[in-house]
Chains A and B, each alone.
Chain A
Amino acid sequence: MRVRVEVNGEQRVADDVWEGESLLYVLRERLGLPGSKNACEQGECGSCTVYLDDVAVCACLVAAGQAEGRRVRTIEGDGLEEVQQAFLETGAVQCGFCTPGLIVAAHDLLRRDPAPADPDIREALAGNLCRCTGYEKIMDAVRLAASRAKGRAACD
């Protein structure tokens, strides 16, 4: 089947999509966007997290056809740079496999709650697994991104 979907602000068309295929597969294998990672394909690791119509979801659990006519934003899209930068600066990226999903999940948290307490950060990132960092640097990254956003708000 054919799937039309807006990805990172661009109208895209994927052809010959198998009806049981996931949005993750379409992004990575048909649209040339390998940023979202494929690790578990069962919603457990969060490395495939993307925005679907502004809602953070596991792309591996969205059927390709369910994305028809909708908007997707991946790690390749705009607006995530600040969180990305915070991850780089705090050493929250080691092998980097979990990073794209974590950045979307952290971004999603910060737009809902610009000053999250530590338990809220942990809760918001509970669906994202990292096998390298031990999570402490990731906590630092989210705190840094939050403090920068706060600093900017204070200067405005």
Chain B
Amino acid sequence: MEFMRPTTLAEALAMKAATPEAVPIAGGTDVMVEINFDKRRPGALLDLSSVAELSAWDLRDDGTRIGAALPYARVIAEVGERAPGLAAAARTVGSPQIRNRGSVGGNLGSASPAGDAHPPLLADGSTVEIASVRGTRTVPAREFFTGPKKSVLEPDELVTAVLVPAPRGPQQFAKVGTRNAMVIAVCSFAVALDTEALTVGTGIGSAGPTPLRAVEAERFAAGLDWDADLPESAARRFGDLVAQAARPIDDVRGTAAYRRHALGVLARRTLTWAWAEYRRSGCA
């Protein structure tokens, strides 16, 4: 096995182009488990942890650019207010030790349908920045995932950042698991209110082959009366539409029927919380 330690992004991209089969490693919280258990024996590891550009974040006109390898703990502490949905999801990841290492770029790299970073990135319309020696491109998070553990990433590409738009309203994330910490989601849901466009973004986790949007639920929510409190019937209808958008399967963590039911509950609650926050803040 080869161990490659680039210290600049240009170097990392050149190495990835020369050795496309090299497996990137950021926090290692997915990669090392696979290696320790002999599930993966890559010919080469490409260590991203010394590439300063990937562990930084900066402000843009339209939002925040979060480096792919920035650990969750720093996402929470440093950009929590600029990316509230993502930070809420990050708080539920693993344990302090896992949040000190694990990164959004690694979550995207694994592209697990259960990845907790994904629903908020879908809900708030974030984009994924991808680079290779051929250049840089951006892909909406909503189009990043192509199947279970599959994404649009080409073998010579790295995720360099996510671009999270400046929040234009309350955002919420909720997750069902067997305990309050250290759980892979049975299902999860993120909602983001855009109180300027008067739209609602959604993201469903762990209830389909990829993270999903609930398009019908979004359409329904956009038609709500934004000058009034949220009627309970509307919250319920929103929950039903989210449940219908899911494409869950039975597995060790839960049955499809349970997931669908739980998602409806999560969606109803998170929209209710977000709407109450919106009404309280008086930004109508």
Contacts and interface: CB of A to CB of B under 8 A. Distances in A.
A153 B142 CA distance: 51
Contact of B1 (A20, A56, A126): A20
B33 A63 contact: no
B98 A43 contact: yes
Contact of B32 (A1, A44, A61): A61
B45 A43 contact: no
B94 A43 contact: yes
B182 A127 contact: yes
B91 to A, nearest CB: 10
Given A20-B41, A57-B101, A43 B29 contact: yes
Among A55, A61, A126: residue with most chain B CB under 10 A: A61
Contact of A126 (B29, B35, B182): B182
Interface residues of B, number: 31
Contact of A105 (B2, B32, B45, B97): B97
A22 B101 CA distance: 14
B208 interface: no
A42 B130 CA distance: 28
A124 B32 contact: no
A64 to B, nearest CB: 8
Nearest to B95: A127
B36 A65 contact: no
Contacts of A118: none
B32 A22 contact: yes
Among B1, B94, B96, B181: residue with most chain A CB under 10 A: B96
A112 to B, nearest CB: 10
Given A43-B98, A49-B97, A63-B3, A123 B32 contact: no
A55 to B, nearest CB: 5
Interface string B88-117: 000000111110110000000000000000
A81 interface: no
Interface string B9-25: 00000000000000001
Interface string A126-137: 111000000000
A-B complex: 5 closest residue pairs judged by Cβ atoms:
A127-B95, A126-B181, A19-B1, A19-B3, A41-B36
Interface of B: 1-3, 5, 25, 27-29, 31-33, 35-37, 41-42, 44-45, 47, 49, 73, 94-98, 100-101, 180-182
Interface of A: 1, 18-20, 22, 41-44, 46, 49, 55-58, 60-63, 65-66, 68, 105, 108, 123-124, 126-128
21 contacts: A18-B1, A20-B1, A20-B35, A20-B42, A42-B33, A43-B97, A43-B98, A46-B97, A55-B73, A55-B100, A56-B96, A60-B32, A60-B36, A62-B32, A63-B25, A63-B28, A66-B47, A108-B96, A124-B96, A126-B95, A126-B96
